Amino acid sequence: MSFFHGLSSGKNTQTLRSRRAHEGASTQYQLRQYAEATLGADSLKKIVQLPEGEDLCEWLAVNTVDFYNQINMLYGVVTEFCSPKTCPVMKATDAYEYLWQDPEKFRRPVSVSAPEYIELLMAWVQSNFDNEQIFPARIGVPFPKNFVPLIKTTFKRLFRVYAHIYCHHLEIMTELGLESLLNTSFKHYVLFAQEFELIDKKDYGPLASLVANMLE
């Protein structure tokens, strides 16, 4: 899995590949770095705004990579407690089960365990990152016409990892002293999604009230 490298802000136009994180550093240490960088900002709402002169697709691409890395790390904290035995289905409360579907292996929606769902999801997202027809590695190369719809699907699916953590592993995050980091990351995610209309309100499901409070 990839790991979070840093916030996307200002007019940073580094290529996506150069922004991929280096593996090996402590997950909790990197999470704390993220929280300090974010909480030290004037406003999360300002951070998510498209910088003047920045290409929208490039901004969406870079931030999607960053959020993917954040979520990878957050889930990495609870993987020891999230197994096919403890989490036999991918859900957020008993009211919301998330089925997996992809064009290669599972063409029809299928119920899988939470760790399998998240592994399939992360592999699917990473495969899109690695596909230069979707995520160009060089600045100036045009993004595909279906790029924004793909980002919307990606955000909707990655949200489900937050939902699973909040609904089934929040106690672990709290015991480890990482609840505030989870909240900061999720609020950043929600504000970014709202800024660019990436997630429909109905898709917030089990976290709808939490999202509403954050947006207020």
Question: Annotated binding site for Zn(2+), which residues?
Answer: 82, 87, 164, 169
Residue for token pair 């999607």: 64
Ranges of H-type helices in 49-195: 56-78, 114-130, 147-168, 170-175, 179-195
Token pair belonging to 37 = 């960088």
Distance CA 72, CA 119 (A): 10
* Residues in binding site: 82, 87, 164, 169
| Closest to 24 measured CA to CA, from 76, 91, 85, 78 | 76
3-state secondary structure of 20: coil
